[in-house]
Structure 1
Amino acid sequence: MKKFLLQIMGFIITFLLINILVGYYYNIPVKKSIENKTHKKYKKYSKVHDTTNTYNTIFLGSSRGYTAYNPVIFDSILDTKSFNMCTGSQNIIESYYILKDILEFQKPKTVVYEMFLPSFDTTDDYYHILSNASFLRSSKVKRELIVNGFGLSGIANYLSPILRNKLYIKADIMKLLVGGNSTVTKKKNNSYWVSGYLHEEKEVDQYTISNFERMVNLDNTSTSTMKLEYFNKLTNLCKEKGIQLVCVRSPFPPTRLNNEDDSDNKLVTQYFNDLCTQNNVEFFDFNSINNANYRYEDANFSDSHHMNYKGANKATMQLAELIKDYYEK
């Protein structure tokens, strides 16, 4: 029995040591970029936590919103002061708690939420979730995000660097085994950050265009009941604080849309439209609105679903005009 207990104790100690080492290793680049003030999430949260900055419009959502809406252009049309708080793989639960944290420092009049089906699906990327959590200023909101938002899985991933970094650990192991990909070229420094928005100059290449994968739709994606509840929470929070919530579905490359069954795209549009109608929220889907002044091309994208600056200029202007027309009704 004593030997068994010692084995268990040894396993626990070994597991804890490995977790400490993994956490330390994967935190090195984050720590360095924060010290150098180059970490983009650090910069984002620093801006909204600084009460000398007064933002009346906040953008929330995934990286599709991060690369699609330029606050500088948006503000020039609507005379607002906006900030883009979209982040990579940000799901609706994160968006809700990010807004709760922001409201302790800012008093926005409008929140623009970028609708993306994977933000409502049943999968969770804890690396990004806990990265966002680490920058929340309110310890209460951070605890609510991890515990209330993701339950036991959230707590387990918070406590275990191995769990939250498992995808990156797997990728690093594969690199060691296969020796990496020598054909991969370094990405040129053709992007920069402004007011939380990522200005990307890269243009999607023809090879990528010809190999666009099938888009996520209601046929191949399961939505999470809990995440749908958090959309209701987001709308109720905005109503409670007197914030106008506007939801938008960002454009996709036209070739990718044309390769899809048109009914699949219409079903996603209708799904989000119904969700917003139930909550009395305005919804704009750039993939279903016909406007001769805003024709999106494949060249307006940097990959299969992120916009480059040319596309973002169009999307931002179109969104600003739609909101302006909506308020003037």
Structure 2
Amino acid sequence: MKHSFLQKAAAAALFVLLTAALLAAADFLLVDDVHSYSRVMLQELYRDAGNIDTLFLGSSHCYRSVDPAAVDAALGTHSFNAGSSQQLPDGSYYMLKEAAAQNDLKTVYLEMFYTGYNESASSNVPLACYLLVDHMNALSPNRYEYLWEMGGLAAFADLLLPARHGIASLSGMPALWQAKLADGYTTDSYRYVTYEDSGEAYRGRGFVYTAGIPQDGFATLLNVDPDAPLSDFGWEYLNKITDFCQENGIQLVLFTAPLPSGYLYNTQNYQAYVDALQDFCTAHAGLEYWDFSLYRLQRDLNLKIEDFSDAHHLNGAGAEKFTAILC
């Protein structure tokens, strides 16, 4: 009986080891995380642990709009831009908790592009979650709480096999393997997150510099429902972020990066979103909301069409103008 038990235990252990080896091989061969802004951003976030006092959170409208180097030069801070593509309110919440666990944060700026706060659930955009949890510390409880709230057990399957949501192109695999075996994960090298053809380049501490000007007009992504300018999901995590900052003595500032006037013109009931956030701030002493699309001193911003890369993102030149005014 004892011999039989040992055989079964050994077989189970061998199965686990083989499965782990196969998953690791699939990850190496198939998953392109070398060309990932969020991978480099999180590597730098952990490297800067203990030094960050000012944190920026939000979607691509955050990491394409605010340059931490310019912020620090103006304000004498040590800031970090923890924005990520399509970052939803729950992603901002868990990135806030992850950063606060390692740093004595003084101020958090939460970029409030309205589409994310009108999603009904995080599971509608699972990639927004995977872009972060794939590169979070494996021992971080925030990683698993975020993953569970986004997709439950099914999401953990994707964590075990990232190739299901991040597979590389067949033609690019040989170069990818070479990069992984060489300097693909070197923290201070941005060669794999610099794209000369498209004019995009990662510039450090989460900031992505973008070239180009709008080519396809200013059609809106989403109109605002005046009766529900934020979804229940949006309100839930805005409250969680606000409460967390209040409980931990962190100053929270809500802001929206500038949008082209043509985009706003094509977005119905946008003012309802602004009013809802201003009312929220009124109900929370010390909280402010700044919408730079509606900034009264637009001449100070001096933004032109050539300062935007598309219908609703600033390019690098626009980001530098905006960062100066934000400071």
Q: Does 1:29 align with 2:32?
A: yes
**Contact kept? 1:201, 1:308, Cα under 8 Å:** yes
CA distance in 2, matches of 1:49, 1:218: 37
| 1:284 CA drift (Å) | 0.3
| 1:51 CA drift (Å) | 5.0
Q: Does 1:42 align with 2:45?
A: no
**Contact kept? 2:67, 2:323, Cα under 8 Å:** yes
More helix by share: 1
Structure-2 residue corresponding to 1:267: 272
Structure 1 counterpart of 2:210, which letter? Answer: E
Q: Which runs of 5+ in 2 are unaligned?
A: 1-18, 170-195
**Contact kept? 1:90, 1:119, Cα under 8 Å:** yes
Distance 1:253 1:167, change over 3 A: farther
**In structure 2, the residue corresponding to 1:127 is in which secondary structure?**
helix
CA distance in 1, matches of 2:265, 2:135: 40
Structure-2 residue corresponding to 1:276: 281
**In structure 1, the residue corresponding to 2:31 is in which secondary structure?**
helix
**Contact kept? 1:158, 1:164, Cα under 8 Å:** no
**In structure 2, the residue corresponding to 1:55 is in which secondary structure?**
coil
Q: Does 1:230 align with 2:237?
A: yes
Q: What is the root-mean-square deviation in Å for CA atoms of aligned residues? A: 3.3
Match of 1:159 among 136, 157, 160: 157
| 1:99 CA drift (Å) | 1.2
**Contact kept? 2:229, 2:273, Cα under 8 Å:** no
Structure 1 counterpart of 2:145, which letter? Answer: E
Match of 1:218 among 224, 236, 251: 224
Structure-2 residue corresponding to 1:11: none
**Contact kept? 2:37, 2:202, Cα under 8 Å:** no
**In structure 1, the residue corresponding to 2:214 is in which secondary structure?**
coil
Structure-1 residue corresponding to 2:175: none
| 1:189 CA drift (Å) | 4.2
**Contact kept? 1:250, 1:287, Cα under 8 Å:** yes
| 1:118 CA drift (Å) | 2.1
Q: Does 1:140 align with 2:141?
A: yes
TM-score by length of 2: 0.74
Residue by residue over 1:21-54, the C-alpha shift from the partner in whole angstroms, topping out at 9 and shown as x without a partner, is: 9x75995212xx1xxxx64222211222125661
CA distance in 1, matches of 2:231, 2:260: 26
Residue by residue over 1:140-177, the C-alpha shift from the partner in whole angstroms, topping out at 9 and shown as x without a partner, is: 11121122x33xx34313314899988889xx9xxxxx
CA distance in 2, matches of 1:296, 1:249: 15
Structure 1 counterpart of 2:71, which letter? Answer: F
Structure 1 counterpart of 2:315, which letter? Answer: N
Residue by residue over 1:9-32, the C-alpha shift from the partner in whole angstroms, topping out at 9 and shown as x without a partner, is: xxxxxxx9xxx79x75995212xx
Structure-2 residue corresponding to 1:86: 83
Structure 1 counterpart of 2:51, which letter? Answer: T
Distance 1:232 1:188, change over 3 A: closer
Q: Which runs of 5+ in 1 are unaligned?
A: 1-15, 173-185, 321-329
**Contact kept? 1:232, 1:279, Cα under 8 Å:** no
Q: Does 1:194 align with 2:192?
A: no
**Contact kept? 1:130, 1:158, Cα under 8 Å:** no
CA distance in 1, matches of 2:79, 2:159: 34
